[in-house]
Amino acid sequence: MECHLGADLSAGAGSGVSGTGAHAAAVGQRRLTAGAPPLALYVHLPWCPRKCPYCDFNSHRASEPLPEDAYVDALLADLDAQLGAPAACRGLISIFIGGGTPSLFSGAAVARLLAGIRSRCALAPDAEITLEANPGTVDAGHFRAYRAAGVNRLSIGVQSLSAAHLDALGRIHDPEQARAAVAAARAAGFENINLDMMFGLPRQTPAEARADLDALIALAPEHISYYQLTLEPNTAFAHRPPPVPDHDSLDAMAEAGAARLAAAGYGRYEVSAYARDGYRCRHNLNYWRFGDYLGIGAGAHGKLTDVATGAVVRRSNKRSPADYLARPSKPATRCDLSDADLVLELAMNALRLVDGVESALFAARTGLPPSRLASARARLTAAGLLEPAPERLAATPLGQRFLNDLVAGFAEE
């Protein structure tokens, strides 16, 4: 699925909570240089027809009927509570409705949700509004209703166009349903579509991965998320690992896939994100450039920067849909990020981008002086993992291959 950090945090992201006195002293030294970062909104709809064996997102098997009205009420109450923070008083550049399977919700429910958000928040005139959809849970009527509600970007979880591999992944759709979903989205007027596809599937060969990707490219989406299947902890696949390709095969699939996508006109701009010109995902770019975001829904996370104090605060909701519905405006946790957290989190996000970020963004987003990175930059540049250009913070091709090692180098700061 497309990256949406509002749904969950990577291990270690924002996990350190400083002591009150130490944190206050650290925050007092921060000076933001460019005002508040851009603000986005992530909305989590946590239900799925069934749990996929590889999925580690906060998703829950749907009951019938879905509590659409009650959940939309809870989402808007959650948003009201968060908008009480002075740092949240600015317009939204994007909305991302993720899951779970958001396309289980009716067009009427999505329309009421978006109308409620618009009545509470100013949206940029060109705001990107994405909804995730899974083939097998949508039809032409759904897509027309989402488009009429204001959704202008769809992210469709195809994952594979091989019947055998879809079955191995536990997906509820078949290849023809995936193709039909794309055709229905076009007929409904969507001109900005992302398609998700995985490689490194159980018993998949490099030739099968190439054929799968060729079939996806033939559907002509504007954006493709192409990423390796990973066996995440606490998933069915982690408990009973399937036979996946060896490292040499995985490397071959990754390299061949990147080359094939480039030849088809899709520019790689992030580890697993490829887009035609003008169609990079703005919502995800805001994450990767360490922007701010509100997160509403069960298990959703948010990040806000207080320009007056320099404090960067994370907030997270209860993961259980039942608990969330009972008390939607009560966050489960709040975490003020320490200086070390900020260094690590910016590195985790910015270095995923192929071109990295301008060096000045570090001070603009964290309020910390550029000298805070000096020793890490020197060490990682010497190791060949970081580009030597002082005006940018960017991984080398080697650093992109060993991104975890590169990011870990900043943890030492």
Question: Per residue in 103-118, pLDDT tens?
Answer: 999 999 999 999 999 9
Count the neighbouring beta carbons within 10 Å of the beta carbon of residue 166.
Answer: 22
Pairing verdict, β 273-275 and 267-270: antiparallel
Task: Locate CATH 3.20.20.70 in the chain.
Answer: 20-286
Q: How confident is the model at residue 13 (pLDDT cuts 50, 70, 90)?
A: very low
What is the rounded distance in angstroms from the CA atom of residue 68 to the CA atom of residue 158?
25
Read off the pLDDT of each residue in 315-343 and give the average, rounded to a whole number.
89
CA 46 to chain centre: 15
pLDDT above 90: percentage of residues in the chain: 77
Strand partners, 46: none
What is the rounded distance in angstroms from the CA atom of residue 47 to the CA atom of residue 299?
12
Listed in sequence order, the DSSP H helices in 218-359 are 236-239, 247-263, 282-288, 321-326, 339-350
User: What is the pLDDT at residue 63?
Assistant: 81
On whether the pTM is more than 0.75, the answer is: yes
CA 197 to chain centre: 15
pLDDT above 70: percentage of residues in the chain: 92
Gyration radius of the chain over CA positions: 21
Q: By three-state DSSP, how is residue 302 classified? A: strand
Reported in sequence order, the residue ranges of 141-298 that DSSP labels E, i.e. its strands, are 153-159, 193-199, 223-228, 267-270, 273-275, 292-297
Residue showing tokens 């023809």:
176
What is the rounded distance in angstroms from the CA atom of residue 167 to the CA atom of residue 53?
11
Q: By three-state DSSP, how is residue 178 classified? A: helix
Domain formed by 20-286, architecture: Alpha-Beta Barrel (3.20)
CB-count burial class (<10 Å; 0-12, 13-18, 19+) for 284: buried
Any residues with CB less than 8 A from the CB of 296 and at least 6 apart, and which?
41, 42, 43, 44, 75, 78, 79, 82, 317
Assess whether pLDDT exceeds 50 at residue 6: yes
Read off the pLDDT of each residue in 371-384 and give the average, rounded to a whole number.
95
Cβ proximity of 121 and 81 under 8 Å: no
Q: How confident is the model at residue 411 (pLDDT cuts 50, 70, 90)?
A: confident
Read off the pLDDT of each residue in 324-340 and give the average, rounded to a whole number.
86
User: What is the pLDDT at residue 238?
Assistant: 87
Cβ proximity of 7 and 345 under 8 Å: no
Task: Locate CATH 1.10.10.10 in the chain.
Answer: 340-413
Mean pLDDT across the chain, nearest whole number?
A: 90
Strand partners, 194: 155, 223
CB-count burial class (<10 Å; 0-12, 13-18, 19+) for 243: exposed
What is the rounded distance in angstroms from the CA atom of residue 88 to the CA atom of residue 326?
24
Q: Tell me yes or no: is domain 340-413 CATH 3.40.710.10.
A: no
What is the rounded distance in angstroms from the CA atom of residue 13 to the CA atom of residue 35?
23
* CA distance readout (Å), 4 to 10, 36, 104, 321, 384: 11, 21, 19, 18, 30
Q: How confident is the model at residue 19 (pLDDT cuts 50, 70, 90)?
A: very low
Residue showing tokens 């991965």:
209
Q: What would the pLDDT profile of 130-157 be if each residue is shown by its tens digit?
A: 999 999 888 889 999 999 999 999 999 9
Read off the pLDDT of each residue in 294-299 and give the average, rounded to a whole number.
96
